[in-house]
Copies of this chain bind each other. A is one copy, B any other.
Amino acid sequence: MHSRDDVAEHGGVRSVLRTLDLLSLFTEETSQWSVRELSEASGLAKTTTLRLVSTLERSGLLWPTGSGNYAPGPGLLRWSRLAGSAWQPTPAARQVMGDLVRRCGETVNIYVRSGLHRVCVAQQEGPQNLRHVVRVGDELPLWSGAASRILLAAADDALLERVVAAAPHRTSAAELRSRIDRARADGCAVTHGERERGASGIFAPVVDEKGSVVAAIGIGGPTPRFTDDAVRRFAAHVRTAAQEVSRAGVTAHLPGRAEA
């Protein structure tokens, strides 16, 4: 038996997660949705969707466009400013990223782990036209990619099981663990076409003063430019950059962060 408060509490967290999921459907490419479309895409009942959309509209996070559709609301602008200031790379980190772009000629990204994802929190674009495009704020899965192997350095078995469970193909936690261990031994991780055919990446750990991994810094680009020779050269630059950023700190909040 549940008391009324228990039920409300349980439903409360669920509603918060559902509301955030609805908001996640809005992207730059698909920025307008009707309640019916949101209901279909989320799998939520239409009445539930309508109730959550109304709440989001009331909070300024969704905006009625007048044609029965909803678009991202002006309330997001405040959070935009907040995210910008909280996750602004330090000038030193920005400098290291710029140097790494110049040395490798590839796009430089910094990722952090957020739950079962890695999130790109900083980027310096490479000079070439053929690029592996990831945007700041993008959430990518942890079951693939060089940055993931770095960010999972301290992961326990339970986390690895959840990570591989999210993968579309069969992969084992033991296999992922051995790749993570290999990356730790090498001081960096190198992947080719692991999630996306033709995309390569080299990432190294940014650590806090306790040696815990707080972020992964590295480069990504098309596999044909990641020849064996280039990988050796790039890997050395990426490791150096990671050490420099570890000393300088990534953002105001990242140095000294205890690993969760």
Q: CB within 8 Å of B: which residues of A?
A: 2, 4, 7-17, 19-20, 23-24, 26-28, 31-32, 48, 51-52, 55-56, 58-61, 63-67, 71-87, 112, 114-115, 117, 119-121, 135-139, 208, 252-253, 256-258, 260
Contacts and interface: CB of A to CB of B under 8 A. Distances in A.
A76 B15 CA distance: 19
Given A72-B86, A78-B137, A81-B137, 12 more contacts: A7-B7, A7-B11, A16-B52, A23-B79, A26-B82, A31-B86, A60-B119, A67-B256, A72-B83, A75-B139, A76-B86, A77-B120
Given A11-B9, A258-B66, A79 B81 contact: no
Contacts of A74: 83, 87, 112, 114, 119, 121, 137
A123 to B, nearest CB: 10
Nearest to A135: B81
A75 B139 CA distance: 8
B9 A51 contact: yes
Contact of A16 (B16, B75, B117, B120): B16
Nearest to A256: B66
B85 A119 contact: no
Contact of A119 (B26, B65, B75, B115): B75
Given A4-B7, A26-B82, A77 B66 contact: no
